[in-house]
Amino acid sequence: MYQRYHDRGGEPGQIRSGPPLPRRSVNPVLALQRAIGNRGTARALARKKDKNRPSFEHSVKIGRLGPIQITGGNIGEWAAKKDPDGLKVTSVKGEHSDELKRLSDSKARIDTVETASVIGENSLVTITFKSCRIRRYSTDGEKEEWTVEFESAKRQTLSIGAAR
């Protein structure tokens, strides 16, 4: 049904600016999924290039640093809803390595450390760790190992369509 727009705040004879813009839906991904379906949404998300979007099966983002590819550790246990004691990470050395070493040596607190894991074909598990410290940083050839000590963790799962 058509709704009328009444502009009661203007002066007589003044041109109306038009009706207010409609509100955005809660989640734009869900709106896209409703419009083009599961398969189309998966294709669109796969095409979208965003430097902050995880592009690895398992990745970690430390503040503004990352995403860093995780090649080992216990991130799989976290993604599988198990509750390990801490987060242990093995990653490939790269541009981020000097900053990780500095964070480990300084024992500085980091507001958030966020991991992302792709589970199956249609689910992304994001775990946000709050009030963190990088500890026990060590290197062995081209790989580096380190742990994250944290005060709290929050797990979120985004799934598109039914599980396969």
What is the structure's pLDDT at 138?
92
Compute φ and ψ for 46, nearest 5 degrees: -70, -30
Q: How far is the CA of 139 from the CAs of 74, 93, 144, 148, in angstroms?
A: 17, 8, 4, 16
Pick the closest to residue 115 from 160, 54, 46, 25 (CA basis).
54
Give mean pLDDT, residues 145-160: 88
What is the structure's pLDDT at 35?
81
**Interior angle at CA 49, CA 38 and CA 111, nearest 5:** 100
In terms of pTM, does the model score above 0.85?
A: no
Q: Cα(2)–Cα(47) distance, rounded to whole angstroms?
A: 37
Antiparallel, parallel or unpaired: β 123-140 and 152-159: antiparallel
| pLDDT tens, residue by residue, 18-44 | 666 666 555 777 777 888 888 888 877
| pLDDT tens, residue by residue, 89-144 | 999 898 889 999 999 999 889 999 998 888 877 788 888 999 999 999 999 889 99
Write down the domain spans for the chain.
54-159
Domain 54-159 belongs to what architecture? Answer: Roll (2.30)
